[in-house]
């Protein structure tokens, strides 16, 4: 049986999860043909594990004719490769959903995919329930929100971090605003907010609240959609970011499965 060709952009922690799942027989319908990364050393390392070609850039990867390209890098990396991948005839599997908070980029990618006969598949990452969120939003006019709890150390390197958060005894609200505002402040930390927005009321209308919680490990995301006919709540806790990588494994399995969830 002919296997589906997969290329990987981003050879760090999440990309390694995909390769490990493939090596353990969870992605038997795929052939990993190549990978590329900002770091040549990490690309070489992952390529060795997958028995595939280490590529210097996206052009070398696309020359291997993948059916799907997995982006497991960053919003800026996605913005750099999306059009080229889709125009080449490959579909995209995306983890850095935060890039789509840019309405112009979202519209451009949508147009390109439609013209090229390709598709963009959004991995659920650290959340889930896209089916019920989209269903609820179709039923009636809804309000959507996502409330996230994080440990204070995970906020280091962001504009909201203060050293006092590390010694606080009580939870502190460090952000409250729209998903669009959130991704501008935390470009690599709130992909879940943009994913929620895309599945419901849009980046400008989805409310985001982030709490710094002393001693908290991991992330807890509580999504709420309220309408006249429905009230949906999705609450997911994950101790590490590994769930994002495994969400890609689940998506890839679904793409080739005769039974689609």
Task: Kindly state whether residues 8 and 119 are assigned to the same domain.
Answer: yes
Q: What is the mean pLDDT of the chain?
A: 94
- Closest by CA to 193, choosing from 151, 226, 156, 222, is 222
Q: Is residue 10 part of a domain?
A: yes
Q: Is residue 74 part of a domain?
A: yes
Q: Are 96 and 77 a contacting pair, CB within 8 Å?
A: yes
Count: domains in the chain? 2
- Closest by CA to 207, choosing from 227, 177, 239, is 177
Kindly tell me if the per-residue pLDDT of 189 is higher than 90.
no
- Closest by CA to 155, choosing from 222, 195, 203, 211, is 211
Task: Kindly state whether residues 80 and 161 are assigned to the same domain.
Answer: no
What's CA 119's distance to the chain center, in Å?
A: 15
Task: Kindly state whether residues 189 and 236 are assigned to the same domain.
Answer: yes
Task: Kindly state whether residues 63 and 114 are assigned to the same domain.
Answer: yes
pLDDT bucket at 42, cuts 50 / 70 / 90: very high
- Region 130-138 average pLDDT: 91
Task: Kindly state whether residues 13 and 120 are assigned to the same domain.
Answer: yes
Domain with residue 175: its CATH number is 3.30.360.10
Residue 250: which residues within 8 A CB-CB, separation 6 or more? 124
Task: Kindly state whether residues 105 and 42 are assigned to the same domain.
Answer: yes
Task: Kindly state whether residues 140 and 224 are assigned to the same domain.
Answer: yes
Q: Is residue 227 part of a domain?
A: yes
Q: Is residue 137 part of a domain?
A: yes
Task: Kindly state whether residues 106 and 215 are assigned to the same domain.
Answer: no
Task: Kindly state whether residues 117 and 134 are assigned to the same domain.
Answer: no
pLDDT digits (tens, 9 = 90+) for 150-184: 999 999 999 999 999 999 999 999 999 998 899 88
Structural domain containing residue 136? 130-240
d(CA 203, CA 198) in angstroms, rounded, equals 7
Domain with residue 24: its CATH number is 3.40.50.720
Task: Kindly state whether residues 109 and 146 are assigned to the same domain.
Answer: no
pLDDT digits (tens, 9 = 90+) for 102-115: 889 999 999 999 99
Q: Which two tokens stand for residue 29?
A: 């319908």
Q: Which two tokens stand for residue 254?
A: 């679904």
What single string gives the DSSP state of each residue in 114-160? Answer: HHHT--EEE--TT---HHHHHHHHHHS-EEEEEEEEE-GGGGTTSTT
Coil, strand or helix: which one is 69?
strand
pLDDT digits (tens, 9 = 90+) for 52-87: 999 999 999 999 999 999 999 999 999 999 999 999
- Which stretches of the chain are DSSP H helices? 13-23, 40-50, 58-62, 75-87, 103-116, 130-139, 179-185, 191-199, 242-255
Task: Kindly state whether residues 65 and 82 are assigned to the same domain.
Answer: yes
Task: Kindly state whether residues 104 and 178 are assigned to the same domain.
Answer: no
């Amino acid at each position: 049986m002919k296997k589906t060709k997969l290329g990987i952009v981003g050879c760090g922690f999440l990309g390694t999860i995909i390769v490990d799942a493939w090596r353990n027989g969870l992605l038997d319908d795929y052939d990993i043909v190549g990978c590329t990364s900002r770091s040549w050393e990490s690309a070489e390392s992952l390529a060795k594990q997958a028995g595939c070609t280490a590529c210097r850039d996206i052009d070398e990867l696309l020359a291997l004719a993948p059916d799907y390209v997995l982006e497991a890098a960053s919003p800026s990396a996605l913005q750099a490769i999306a059009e080229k991948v889709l125009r080449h005839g490959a579909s995209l599997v995306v983890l850095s959903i935060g890039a789509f908070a840019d309405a112009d980029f979202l519209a451009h990618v949508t147009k390109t995919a439609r013209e090229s006969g390709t598709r963009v598949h959004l991995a659920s990452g650290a959340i889930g329930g896209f089916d019920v969120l989209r269903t609820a939003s179709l039923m009636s006019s809804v309000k959507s929100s996502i409330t996230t709890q994080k440990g204070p150390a995970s906020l280091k390197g962001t504009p909201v971090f203060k050293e006092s958060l590390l010694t606080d005894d009580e939870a502190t609200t460090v952000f409250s605003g729209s998903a669009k505002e959130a991704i501008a402040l935390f470009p690599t930390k709130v992909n879940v907010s943009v994913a929620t927005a895309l599945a419901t009321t849009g980046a400008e209308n989805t409310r985001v609240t982030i709490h710094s919680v002393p001693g908290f490990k991991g992330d807890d995301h509580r999504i709420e959609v309220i309408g006249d006919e429905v009230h949906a709540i999705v609450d997911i806790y994950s101790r590490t970011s590994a769930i994002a990588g495994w969400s890609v494994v689940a998506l890839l399995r679904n793409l080739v499965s005769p039974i689609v969830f």
